[in-house]
Amino acid sequence: MLLGLGLLSVPGATAEIRQSVPARSAPLPVPRPPDLAVEPPAGAPADAPPAPSESTCYAGLTALGIRFERAPAPAAAAACIVTEPVRLEAIGVDGGEIRWPDRPLVACAFARVLGEFTRDIAQPLARGLVGRPLTAFGTGGGFECRARNRTAGGRVSAHGAGLAVDIAWFAFEGDRRELVETPGGEDGRRFVATLRKAACGWFTTVLGPGSDAAHAGHLHLDREPRGRDGESRLCQ
């Protein structure tokens, strides 16, 4: 204790003690983890936004073997919005293709359901009931911003959201074609009737000849949500 006091009383001792204590520096920031320190690609500005990732839905269509074209959002009324619009061209099935020559404009999610239905239901029924593979079917344009049944002031149709198609005919190998309104033979009638019933398991609304005057010449298939859970069915 006395020794400490004696040192402090010596001129210059205080300065010597201060010099012997290392100076404290400000703490350095924590280094960024290596996996986050992503360098921009060569030639790209440092602040360039990341490239958009491939849509999960688009990737699903490709995985199903569907040929399609991404389409711009249709210019229509605010009530008609199509999520991830695509134009359908064909789907690969059994080593061949089933075409959609009308190239319907539909929402990507609806395209996937239609593609799976075509592959898993329509083609097996064509082979089993008609004895020929399905090669194409007419769908109409798909998207159309209008009211249901074209009734003025009515609720917007599922077509207005790209969630519906209207099938007027089916084509089979050998240039055979069957109209939905007037199938030619017994096997054609059974094919259309059985397909129509099976469609109720895939679509929320299925209408056709006999339902009403607006659907006398085609099968209307849509995936517009119905009921509390969105999965109620209207099949007529």
- pLDDT (tens digit, 9 = 90+) per residue, 72-92? 999 877 789 999 999 999 999
The single residue listed with the structure tokens 């359901």 is: 113
> For every one of its 236 residues, what pLDDT tens digit does the chain have, with 9 covering 90 and above?
444 444 444 444 444 434 444 445 555 555 544 444 444 445 444 444 444 445 899 999 999 999 999 999 998 777 899 999 999 999 999 999 999 999 999 999 999 999 999 999 999 999 999 999 999 999 999 999 987 766 666 688 999 999 999 999 999 999 999 999 999 899 999 999 999 999 999 999 999 999 999 899 999 999 999 888 888 999 99
Whole-model pTM?
Answer: 0.75
pLDDT for 76? 77
pLDDT for 155? 81
* Residue 101, CB-side half-sphere exposure with 13 Å CA sphere: 8
The single residue listed with the structure tokens 């240039």 is: 175
* Residue 198, CB-side half-sphere exposure with 13 Å CA sphere: 18
User: Using an 8 Å Cβ cutoff, are 92 and 145 in contact?
Assistant: no
In a 10 Å sphere around its CB, with 0-12 CB exposed, 13-18 middle and 19+ buried, how is residue 15 labelled?
Answer: exposed
- pLDDT (tens digit, 9 = 90+) per residue, 143-175? 999 877 666 666 889 999 999 999 999 999 999
pLDDT for 224? 93
In a 10 Å sphere around its CB, with 0-12 CB exposed, 13-18 middle and 19+ buried, how is residue 213 labelled?
Answer: exposed
pLDDT for 192? 97
pLDDT for 163? 97
CA separation for the pair 90, 101 (Å, rounded): 8
CA separation for the pair 91, 68 (Å, rounded): 9
Measured over the CA atoms of residue 179, residue 182, residue 187 and residue 192, the dihedral's sign is positive
DSSP the chain: -HHHHHHHHSTTHHHHHHHHSPPP-PPPPPPPPGGG-PPPPTTS-TTPPPPPPPPHHHHHHHHTTEEEEE-PPP---TT---SSEEEEEEEEETTEEEE-TT--EEEHHHHHHHHHHIIIIIHHHIIIIISS-EEEEE-TTB----BGGG-TT-PBPGGGGT-EEEE-EEEETTTEEEESSS-SSHHHHHHHHHHHHHHTTT-SEEE-TTT-GGGTTSEEEE---BSTTSB--EE-
- Cβ partners under 8 Å of residue 57, min gap 6: 84, 108, 109, 112
CA separation for the pair 76, 74 (Å, rounded): 6
